Amino acid sequence: MGYGSNGNSYQGYQGGSGVHHNSANRSRRRDYEELSNGTNSNNRMQSMEVLSGREYGLEFDSSDGPQNLKHRATLYCLVGFLILIVLTAPHRDHGGETSNFKFPKNSSNRTNATVTSTTTTTQAPTSPSSESKVTTSSEPALTAQTNNSSNATLTRHTRPAYADQCHLPASFQITLPNNFTFLNDTNFCLNQTTNDIDNQSTCTCKDPVTPAKPDYAPVDWPRAMQMNVELVQKAIASSVDVVFVGDSITEHWNGRDMAEFRPKDHNVSIVFEQLFSKATNASNPQGLALGIAGDRCQNLLYRLQNGEMPATLQPKIWWILIGTNDLGSDHCNANAITAGTIRIVEELQQHSPNATIVINSILPRGGSNHSSQELLHISQTWPIMQTINQRLECYANQTSTFVQFFNATDLFVYTQDDDDANYGREVYINQTLMNDYLHPSGEGALKWGRAMVDKIRQLLGG
């Protein structure tokens, strides 16, 4: 089918359902037959004009004759043949793979699919042991069930094997194909209220696995992050063995708190120079501390994705300490903090697949707005911290040798019999090591730092 100059379709003059039955068409057909049979030589040129398009207002060279028409007809045939080849060629997708997929004529063999997630795109398995394909995109994910003996599952989320072993909640899943933690829940808060921190009991917990800036310190927090970025740029020029990432406890290694250098943090920075600087001792592991006071899991994740972890920063070890503010300030539950920490591990693994990731246990914090050194029956956060640490240790043991758990909690606590026999042995924070029952003092940093150096040298094979 073609199109005339007025946009209306027309067909050849061979008859059929599409033939226009009017006098003009019959006249043209008669002229064509006479031209072909040579019976009307007086009308040949007129007929050639009709066939060559002059009647439709098209302009051609005046030298058009029967021979040119023949060549033109041949050209049209070739163009039509090429168009036919293009239209009937096998479709190729964006990846360059040929696809000849057709639904089977027998509808009973078609796949019966049910929606199980919010996104889908077929991709190859992400691990050598995985045989089923996984999907992620903007379309609903499907769980496909075929009538043959093999079942193919196409889903965006899956539950890792360690989740049950480590007593993680049913909402804990992994997003494929990136293997990123996904907490299929909207409630990240503690079931009970607590006034341990900031004398508040309102839960302000945010999604721990979604990167986000904090909604406080709009000036100081960006300034602290910029200071960290500058430290990263300086460190790239030299070889870095270990990078510490975390909150205020990590920022204090640099002698500052929320970008402010404070005298009481100076002793901690001196310890860092003694233990983690080759300039002080050539046998020391070279360290870099990237912390910001008050950070939660999602804040640290944001920093890693937005400047503090460039491609050129590739330490042998990443050391994580995060979660105390999520619990004490925002009243996040153990599920949220565990998932947020694991999500950070996954981000580091994707960036540095050959590095070892060390998860430091959440350090103890005192009860009653961290003003008391008693933990067991005074602090409501203490048993939650223990649950988080146990889950993270289990996760590290069940996943890979490239993920390690480091228990530093026991370095800062001691036990003794309580005056009240009803409580038995009570757990206390060593005030010498944690003056404010939350942040390591100079002495506490030294004890903790030496233990970390031993672990780092073990991991580095030194």
pLDDT digits (tens, 9 = 90+) for 199-233: 456 889 999 999 999 999 999 999 999 999 999 99
Question: What pTM value is reported for the model?
Answer: 0.67
Domains and CATH numbers, the chain: 2-91 (no CATH), 111-157 (no CATH), 163-460 (3.40.50.1110)
pLDDT band (50, 70, 90) for residue 379: confident
Burial class (CB in 10 A: 0-12, 13-18, 19+), 213: middle
pLDDT band (50, 70, 90) for residue 382: confident
Q: Is the dihedral of CA 263, 444, 275, 303 positive or negative?
A: negative
For the segment 341-351, the average pLDDT, to the nearest whole number, is 97
For the segment 10-16, the average pLDDT, to the nearest whole number, is 39
307 or 381, which is more confident:
307
232 or 185, which is more confident:
232
Q: For the segment 236-288, what is each residue's pLDDT rounded down to a tens digit?
A: 988 899 999 999 999 999 999 999 999 999 999 999 999 999 999 999 999 99
pLDDT at 18: 42
Amino acid type, 127: S
For the segment 290-307, the average pLDDT, to the nearest whole number, is 98
Structure tokens at 171: 């909402």
pLDDT band (50, 70, 90) for residue 34: very low
pLDDT band (50, 70, 90) for residue 12: very low
pLDDT at 88: 62
Nearest in space to 434 (alpha carbons), one of 195, 249, 198, 200: 249
User: Which of 83-92, 270-279, 415-424 has the largest mean confidence?
Assistant: 270-279
DSSP codes, 302-364: HHHHTTSS-TT---SEEEEE--HHHHHTT-B-HHHHHHHHHHHHHHHHHH-TTSEEEEEPPPP
Give the chain's mean pLDDT: 75
Write the Ramachandran bin of 358: left for phi over 0, alpha for psi from -120 to 50, otherwise beta: beta
**pLDDT-above-70 percentage for the chain:** 63
- Please, are residues 135 and 178 in contact by the beta-carbon 8 Å criterion? no
Tell whether the model's pLDDT for residue 341 goes beyond 90. yes
Tell whether the model's pLDDT for residue 4 goes beyond 70. no
Q: For the segment 54-86, what is each residue's pLDDT rounded down to a tens digit?
A: 443 444 444 455 555 566 667 777 777 777 776
User: Phi/psi of residue 242, each to 5°?
Assistant: -140, 135
